Structure 1
């Protein structure tokens, strides 16, 4: 006569792994397969003279059904996660290589920097002020007050390129000799990386500075622009 594994032992042995692996889809699927094999073997090898108690067998079937539903739920959630993550990653990749305009320092590596000066309708002259990463003023240039774009070539008084690094820009507006205002100027930077953190898209610019995507006021192709 074939020995029959007590129904209570099979039930208790399955309770533990199901509870401990519920958050792991692959482990949960493995438990599901094991549980099904044990249940089938137990029904096949039961003693005809001492059949399995119907209430305990029904309890095992109910547990089997719960594990099966959990596996299917995890599979569905995985599919939804993939569908939701795909478009987001596609949107992030669209930033890579483009140039964005924002109120942020520009990374200078020898190529001229495009600056978007703020406007002041009451001013009759303007000065572009350039500061290095330490905040020291390294250059001052006169600007026409109507200029929408200024080019900073990054050359010192000897005509040599300044050190590579991050430079910030501001514009002083004058009326006669009176200083009306000094405002930060936006610059263009190339995007080297885009990150998604919760609901925020964070852009990593050349030079390592990071800005939030909503701070971008213009986007253009990363191809070299005519000066």
Structure 2
């Protein structure tokens, strides 16, 4: 089950697909058919007009101008469709470079894998208590982690175990950072996750980055870094050989 992270705390502007490529093609075809019919009717009218009282040219000249304007509008829309598609393709090619990199993203959902899950959060000021509640898909609190109480940005890793010490299954979980001051009033918080991008998806024109089974809108990514790999210890240098005893 893939889950789209809630856009919090920063809301982006929803993308509205106005390309309407198929609509533009249909509009051009309909316009061409209507224009052909108009020319047939105009020709018949001219053939059967009264020579002593020819029809006024103002009316059909005006209609010709209107058809020309409509044709230009359809052509303009088709060109805009092409530009939009080109822009989207360029964005997609650019976003593919995120795969394999570690990102920080605003999110209310996390992906638990074999390495646990890393949560990143910020406190707007000092707190007396800070809790990070891990929530399963049924809305139940799996466990509660103790967070830092000083203002600023912090990270904490959930090892995937519940409050009973049992290992939970891998997948998507919700989480909530709750901080309160000495008077019991809430301290302003922002929360997100840190993880490796495993794929890129598109939903109605909106590009999404996949971190495991959690998908994040591109405008919710706050930082991108090279993924750190486990360092291989350097080969041990061979011990110096003791010099052989000199022959006597």
TM-score of the superposed pair, with normalisation by structure 2: 0.53
Which residue number corresponds to residue 170 of structure 1? 177
CA contact (8 A) 2:108 2:175 kept: yes
- Structure with the higher fraction of residues in helix conformation: 1
Q: Which gives a bigger RCO, structure 1 or 2 (Cα 8 Å, sep 6+)?
A: 2
Which of 153, 156, 160 aligns to 1:154? It is: 160
Which residue number corresponds to residue 72 of structure 1? 72
Matches within 5 A, 1:1-227: 24-36=27-39, 39=42, 46=47, 51=51, 53-56=53-56, 59-84=59-84, 86-87=86-87, 90-91=90-91, 94=94, 99-119=103-123, 122=126, 127-143=131-147, 148-156=154-162, 157-158=164-165, 160-162=167-169, 164-170=171-177, 172=179, 183=189, 185-188=191-194, 192-195=200-203, 216=220, 218-220=222-224
CA contact (8 A) 2:133 2:141 kept: yes
Aligned CA RMSD, in angstroms, stands at: 4.6
Structure 2 SS opposite 1:162: coil
Label 1:142 to 1:68 Cα distance change in 2 as closer, same or farther (>3 A): closer
TM-score of the superposed pair, with normalisation by structure 1: 0.57
Distance across 2 between alignment mates of 1:143 and 1:77 = 54
Q: Which runs of 5+ in 2 are unaligned?
A: 1-25, 231-248
**How many angstroms does 1:28 deviate by?**
0.8
Residues 97-153 of structure 1, C-alpha deviations (whole Å, 9 max, x = no match): 664511422133544222113237645875543222333322234455577322222
* Alignment size in residue pairs: 195
Q: Which runs of 5+ in 1 are unaligned?
A: 1-22
